Amino acid sequence: MLVPILGVWVFVSAAFNWWPFSGGALAFPGEHWLPHDISVHGVVIDGLYYFILAVTGAIFIATTVAMFWFLLRYDGRQNATPVKFIHGSHTLEVIWSVLPAVTLLFIAIFQMNAWSDVKIQRPLQSVGPDGEQGTLDDVFLPPLLEVTGRQFEWKIRYPGEDQEFDTPDDIHLVNDLHIPVDEEIVIAIKSDDVLHSFFLPNVRLKQDVVPGMKQYIWFEATETGTFDIVCAELCGWGHYKMKGRLTVESREDFERWLGQKYKAQETNQLSLELAER
């Protein structure tokens, strides 16, 4: 009895921001809706989430109310009429099969673009000589950096001045990821050891990182500031340690920062190291 009542209460109080979601004793701390969104595509993802939440919420409340109604309406102490058993109703079965099927199909079709934008259609640098998108001569936007998951940290590598990885001017960092704001960013993600999941909550981006497989993720951040990087796949005892920091900043700031990091990496004098601190 308690479970459906609590369930409905959670839904309603969350929607109207009542206790325990705000104020009062034993209230849940912090924000209970999705974290602040800083990405271009995030609004679509959030919209889908909220749409699905609304649909499932409405169905959940309706089902619960119906169940209660039946419980009360056919209480044995108030009803002397014997129970009548129905063995199947073709019409009802068609209705409760077709309605969800249509809803699911709708969601599947409705979200297709979102999925394709976020996960399939990697941004292009140019469409190639033939002037047509989706052909073999398309040139993909090269990754700005590479993130490698390792028990238990995120290794970050920028290609350096020559824009090429695996050259001596690569810039190596750990857990500290910087990107320019208002630009489409591609990141190559890899794993050194086990399954990790590279998760940028504020960018609405989460991708499993598979050992032996190089994948690309892309997004555009619209706000400057620092945000979290977390691992969303239980990757071992130190999984909780895999926290990183995403800093979104202006192109100038980003380039200045990257230049500093390169200089720091080439430090060959103690005085220079002391000056850095």
Partner 1 sequence: MKFKTETNNSCFRFGLCLALAVGMLGCGNETLRFHLDMVWIRSNEDPEVAFQPEQLQNLSNVLGAVFGTPNKPHVLQDSDIGVEKLVNRDLLQLAAGPVWNDPQGKSHGLYRKHCAHCHGVSGDGAGSTAAYLNPYPRDYRRGIFKFKSTPKGEKPTNSDLEKTLLEGIPGTSMPSFVLLPDDEIAALVDYVKFLSIRGEVERNLVLELSDLEEGELLVSDETLEDGKELIQDAVSFVVNRWSRAESKVAIPAACPSSADPRTATGEEMERSITRGYHLFHGVIANCFTCHGETALGDGQLDLFDDWTEELQPKDPERHAELMSLAQRPQPARNLRPRNLRLGIYRGGRRPLDIYWRLINGIDGAKMPQVPMVDPNDPGKPGMSDSDLWDLINYVRSLPYETLSRPAYQSQTDHVQLTKPL
Residues in contact with partner 1 by the rule CB under 8 A: 151-153, 155, 166-169, 172, 174-176, 237-238, 241-245, 263-270, 272-273, 277
Q: Which residue's entry shows tokens 């990754």? A: 143
By DSSP bridging, strand 196-200 and strand 225-231 are antiparallel
Structure tokens that stand for 151 in this block = 């028990």
Measure the CA–CA gap between 238 and 194, rounded to whole angstroms. Answer: 12
Rank residues 138 and 176 by Cβ distance to partner 1 and give the closer one: 176
CB of 193 to partner 1, least distance (A): 10
Measure the CA–CA gap between 143 and 123, rounded to whole angstroms. Answer: 10
CB of 191 to partner 1, least distance (A): 15
Rank residues 192 and 223 by Cβ distance to partner 1 and give the closer one: 192
Instruction: Decide: helix, strand or coil at residue 182.
Output: coil
CB of 103 to partner 1, least distance (A): 38
Rank residues 132 and 276 by Cβ distance to partner 1 and give the closer one: 276
CB of 174 to partner 1, least distance (A): 4
Phi, psi of 272 (to 5 degrees): -65, -40
Which run of H or of E encompasses 55?
Answer: helix 42-73
CB of 78 to partner 1, least distance (A): 22
Q: Which residue's entry shows tokens 């809706």? A: 33
How many other C-beta atoms are found inside a 10 Å radius of the C-beta of residue 185? 20
Rank residues 137 and 273 by Cβ distance to partner 1 and give the closer one: 273
Rank residues 69 and 240 by Cβ distance to partner 1 and give the closer one: 240
| H helices, E strands: number in the chain | 6, 12
